[in-house]
Structure 1
Amino acid sequence: MTNLSNQHVMLKDSRRLGYAEYGDLQGEPLFYCHGFPASRLEARVIDGPARKHGWHIIAVDRPGYGLSDFKPKRRILDWPDDVAELAHILNISSFSLLGMSGGGPYALACAWKIPSCLRGVSIVNSLGPVYQSWAVHEMKWPARLGFGLAKRASRLLPFIYGGIVARALYWFPRLTRSLLTISAPEADSQALKRPDMERFHLGSIQEAFRNGPKGALLDFKLYAHPWGFQLKDISLNIQLWQGEADATVPPSHARYLAKTLPAAQVHYLPNEGHFSVFVNYISNILENLKETRKKPIRQ
């Protein structure tokens, strides 16, 4: 019997791409772009709601994370090609996208590059353009340090976040969560105390470092430099969800995206944090995506 959480395909360039399937396997396909640092296992937390709303979740490890081979010199704009190739292998002609946090820029890259494949796009607490100083200034010190180094001295990143630090983050994923939840609001504290949420979240972080920190280190660098496309050129309707009490990705990032994207609808959630949104509003997010998606194109 196939373990649906640990699957992979071989891409045409001979790279392995790992993915997991959750929700209703006969439902409508929804590709999931995981956060940072995280993995395909992050999507386990929405397995139940996805079944309820008829979504077939395909959660994919970015290169260098989990089961996916590292790809040197990759760009954010390479990601849509991987997603489209996986969809073709799985015989999926059109699908929706759900991006979480650091998966937001990757979901937006798909909206820019492969819009004809997409029926709908929702992004939750998305990272904004941290290559611009204002976007980093409002973040907590670990993010300011990491993105600052990634932008100005990326060669130093492996010395700070690699080696023994990366091994510690793998063996003790609560360290990573502690860095991500500095000054976390009460909503996040309560959400992460849930046994299922804690287990899924810590498992996802640990899996992210399965083969070392190279995937996360490259993501740091890619986020901190221009993403290779203009937000103003994205014509698809993008659904943005933002916790107004988010201490990890400030609401100013969502405001910027809402202002810059030509067609975006933003849902601000009072008193919700970075992680609590998925616990308290995932059914709303999935239902909204069903309502706002495009009709399938007839062949």
Structure 2
Amino acid sequence: MFLHGTPGSRRLGQLFDAPARREGVRIVAPDRPGYGASSPWPTRDLTDTGAFVAPVLDDAGVDRAGVVGFSGGGPHALALAATHADRVTSVDVVAGATPPDCPPTPRVQRLLGRLASTTPRLLSGLLRVQAWLAGVAPAVVVSQYAETERVPDEVASLVARDFVDAVAASRRGAITELRLLAASWDLPLASVDRPVRLRHGTRDANVPIAGARALRDRLPDARLTAVEDADHLTALLRSRAPVVAQHAD
């Protein structure tokens, strides 16, 4: 089960297609509420994750799965393990967002959270403009997550399409999540009784690795792997093969 970033869509799961095929692993990558073709759920919180992920597993005929959460999908992966442990074998969090009381929170992230809470219409307009830019200049979006020269052209194109898919129909998914991730999490981290593997780039400017270290210390069974010389997106690219291999038969 792959849970995309914030904002994001099911499309980003395509990054795992090649390693998954090599290892014989099935990837399920849904849109969360308010993204892509999924209906908005503006009042949801992190502990509601199981309410929309469990039905996807049911529909796929899967009883239990390893869960991978990237960026804003990381807290949702932890939430699924905390509230629906019977559906989860283990959790991989790659470049995952961290609680707001795990410093440091970059200024841009604080600003986005504030806009989502106070002026959502303004933020919706900004996201609409970004989606237009992503359609004509993918590097504009990619540069928010990585050094563009380190990202292959086909990956940059996919990341841009992922952003467009995330917000084209509605910006409510992104606004909902930016607001709830910036507030105190309602997530009982001590209840995550599944093994958690954190993988985080040492050069991640979107979510500094110091926050990942603080998050690791709050989880009962967590291990952090520092991805050397990796930023937010390249940490995901370099984590694909090892993450998938852990779930191979």
Q: Same fold (TM over 0.5)?
A: yes
Structural RMSD (CA):
1.8
Provide TM-score, normalisation by structure 2. 0.92
Q: What's 2:76 paired with? A: 106
1:172 matches 2:129: no
1:289: how far off? 4.4
Q: Percent identity?
A: 27
Aligned partner of 2:148 among 189, 197, 205: 189
* Structure with greater contact order relative to length (CA < 8 Å, sep ≥ 6): 2
Please say if residues 142 and 148 of structure 2, whose CA atoms lie closer than 8 Å, have aligned partners that are also in contact: no
1:133: how far off? 7.1
Q: Where does structure 1 lack aligned partners over 5 or more consecutive residues?
A: 1-30, 292-299
Could you say if the C-alpha distance between residues 261 and 248 of structure 1 is closer, same or farther in structure 2, counting changes exceeding 3 Å?
A: same
The correspondence of residues 71-220 of structure 1 with structure 2, limited to 5 A, is: 71-130=41-100, 132=101, 134-136=103-105, 139=106, 141-150=107-116, 154-159=117-122, 161-163=123-125, 165-173=126-134, 174=138, 175-178=140-143, 180-181=144-145, 184=146, 188-192=147-151, 194-220=152-178
Q: Deviations over 1:218-237 (max 9, x none)?
A: 11111012222221221111
Give the Cα–Cα distance (whole angstroms) in 1 for the partners of residues 78 and 104 of structure 2: 17
Give the Cα–Cα distance (whole angstroms) in 1 for the partners of residues 102 and 75 of structure 2: 17
1:158 is aligned with what amino acid?
R
Give the Cα–Cα distance (whole angstroms) in 1 for the partners of residues 236 and 99 of structure 2: 22
Give the Cα–Cα distance (whole angstroms) in 2 for the partners of residues 251 and 98 of structure 1: 18
1:64 matches 2:34: yes
The number of residue pairs the alignment matches comes to: 245
Provide TM-score, normalisation by structure 1. 0.77
Give the Cα–Cα distance (whole angstroms) in 1 for the partners of residues 246 and 224 of structure 2: 12
Give the Cα–Cα distance (whole angstroms) in 2 for the partners of residues 287 and 133 of structure 1: 30
1:189: how far off? 3.0
Give the Cα–Cα distance (whole angstroms) in 1 for the partners of residues 221 and 59 of structure 2: 30
Aligned partner of 2:238 among 280, 283, 287: 280
Q: What's 1:228 paired with? A: 186
Aligned partner of 1:240 among 198, 204, 208: 198
Give the Cα–Cα distance (whole angstroms) in 2 for the partners of residues 199 and 92 of structure 1: 31
2:133 is aligned with what amino acid?
F
Please say if residues 191 and 197 of structure 1, whose CA atoms lie closer than 8 Å, have aligned partners that are also in contact: no
Give the Cα–Cα distance (whole angstroms) in 1 for the partners of residues 149 and 24 of structure 2: 28
1:242 is aligned with what amino acid?
H
Could you say if the C-alpha distance between residues 290 and 241 of structure 1 is closer, same or farther in structure 2, counting changes exceeding 3 Å?
A: farther
Give the Cα–Cα distance (whole angstroms) in 2 for the partners of residues 158 and 76 of structure 1: 23
Q: Deviations over 1:125-161 (max 9, x none)?
A: 110002x27342xx1x3212112444xxx132322x1
Could you say if the C-alpha distance between residues 33 and 177 of structure 1 is closer, same or farther in structure 2, counting changes exceeding 3 Å?
A: same
Work out which of the two has the higher radius of gyration on C-alpha atoms and give 1 or 2.
1
Q: Where does structure 2 lack aligned partners over 5 or more consecutive residues?
A: none
